[in-house]
Chains A and B, each alone.
Chain A
Amino acid sequence: MLRSLLLALLRFLVLILVAGLAGATLVRIAPGFSSDEQELNPGLSSESIQAIRQARLADSNVPRFYLHYLYGLLHGDLGKSQSLNLPIRELLRDRLPVSLRNLAVALLLAWSVGLALSVGVFRLRSGWFAVVADAGGGTLISTPAAVLALFFLIMRWPPVVAVGLLVFPKIYRYSRNLIQDCLELPHVVVARAKGVGPWRLLSWHVVPVAVPQLVALVGVSISLGLGALLPVEVFCDLPGIGQLAWTAAQARDLPLLVNLTLVVSCLTIGAIMCCDQLRRFAGREAA
């Protein structure tokens, strides 16, 4: 148990480091890295443009930049944002709680709606209910996150609901298929044949089998939620890390982008690994 936890921790650290390096490398090798929007400003003198180019060249060596960054990270220094001219630590301290709070509320909503609908489809056995739930989920899956964010902006509805609605179809579809698969298991078929009621069937026979896989989906839903949060934060002007990533991407702010890649990697990989461990534990309990 301890060995597997230590191995998981080591894997987590390696993945985080690789994610940061990959993010920095991707940004560096992209063909437009050497150009800066500020260079198009006609008000800047040739000396200022030269200074901007020099500042950008200082970050051009990715391994050196990354080693320097890691050294700073070990000393609690995350560097300074080039575009916002503020310490990245401060930016993350202000923005991360907003995103995490929104993400938590959105995921709670998505899971509640997704599970309620899939249980409803199982319990009601109404074709119309399933058609309406499928159509709703299908429409939301087919809608770009940015468009839903705009719609919520027009309607002045809470943007966090948009994030929840973007994640819910995946949870609904997965949990619905999972319940369907569980219903075909031999012990569930026997229980049904013996006349076990639907709620008892669900709570005693389906849930114990489905829980480990649903736990694994929690980790994936965090990644999905963060992906959906980005356009919603941009369009609805929510001061979270999604909006910060957007600002950093537009301004080609390498230090900020690398830090954000690391933060997002920490969140998603950490969540997925925790859920994976929980899934194994739940699987053993169920067995």
Chain B
Amino acid sequence: MKIVHKAAIAVLLCAVFSCVFARNIAPAGYEQQFRDEAQAGPSIHHPLGTDDLGRDRLARLVYGMRVSLFLAPVAALLSTFLAAAVGGIAGLCGGWVERSVMAATDLFLALPWLFLLITVRAVLPLNLSPASSVLITFALLGFLGWAPAARVICAGAKQVLQSDFVWAARARGCGGLRLVRTHILPSLRPALAAQFFLSIPVFIIAEANLGALGLGVAEPLPSLGGLVSELQDLVMLRPEPWRLAPLVVLIVLIGSFQVLLSKQEVHA
């Protein structure tokens, strides 16, 4: 294993570890305000300083990372499930069903994703609670991100359908759901797993873009996107470079995913 891959795995493990033990790393919590120390610089108590409302930046970063890192896989699971259903049905049925489903997939693939995302996200209710906003944001990512994976799954399903073991199973009278459950799905599992893992960094970046555009997770709940949106206070970046920490963390996390998934991306 290359050293870069080892480093990427170490980074992701550290991130997951800090997310799981967020309460121990930042006992203050993400919404506790230290009113006497608003906009403070780094100190022993607040290693990344505090924000305008006196909240600990490190706590917000750790909890924000937890939101993004735990919910992006959930969204990826949703989109992979949809892709498996749509792509699988298209591949297994063939004919006009496949043509129609693939035309819809092409349409989803052709439309710029961010464009579609902001269109739908922007028409959500104005008075969303933070918990609803985070769930809706990641659910939208899951619902709108199935198209690239569906194409791969459709091609895979068609290929599996033509393989010898499926012909043999059919000849023995195995058909319908049993054929799908016992022969086709297990063969598609590696492709589904690859699509699932490829979707995670894409969704984290998409959430960050939505957050930066002000359509991400609602305050006071932090997410990497929401924290990145604070960089819009351009004047403060030069005297307070520690404000860049969420961006650095985001780039390192996505970079680690990219390093680990580069081979899968090529083959997908």
Number of A-B contacts (CB under 8 A): 135
Interface locus among B69-77, B118-126, B150-158: B118-126
Cα distance, A230 to B110, chains bound together (Å): 15
Question: Is B247 part of the binding interface, using a Cβ–Cβ cutoff of 8 Å?
Answer: yes
A1-30 vs B: 1/0 string, CB under 8 Å?
000000000010011001100110011001
Contact A227/B113 with A141-B254, A142-B254, A246-B118 known, Cβ cut-off 8 Å:
yes
- Chain A residues near B103: list those with CB within 8 A: 11, 14-15, 18
Stretch in contact with the other chain, from B56-64, B184-192, B226-234: B226-234
A147 touches B231 (CB 8 A): yes
Chain A residues with CB under 8 A of B209: 144-146, 231
A248 to B160, CA, bound (A): 45
Taking CB atoms, residues of chain B closer than 8 Å to A261 are 111, 119
Mark each residue of chain B from 213 to 224: 1 if its CB lies under 8 Å from any CB of chain A, else 0: 100000000000
A to B CB contacts below 8 Å, 7 in the list = A14-B103, A30-B124, A138-B258, A142-B205, A143-B250, A145-B209, A228-B114
Interface residues of B (CB under 8 A from A): 103-104, 106-107, 109-116, 118-126, 201, 205, 208-209, 212-213, 225, 228-229, 231-232, 234, 237, 247, 250-255, 258-259, 265-266
Q: What 14 additional pairs, Cβ within 8 angstroms, besides A32-B125, A230-B118?
A: A19-B111, A31-B125, A142-B205, A142-B253, A143-B251, A146-B208, A154-B237, A223-B110, A227-B115, A230-B115, A245-B115, A249-B121, A257-B119, A264-B112
The 5 closest A-B pairs by CB, nearest first: A146-B212, A227-B112, A142-B254, A249-B122, A30-B123
Q: What residues of chain A have their CB less than 8 Å away from a CB belonging to chain B?
A: 11, 14-15, 18-19, 22-23, 26-27, 30-33, 35, 37, 40, 138-139, 141-147, 150, 153-154, 173, 177, 223-224, 226-228, 230-231, 234, 242, 245-246, 249-250, 252, 257, 260-261, 264-265, 268-269, 272
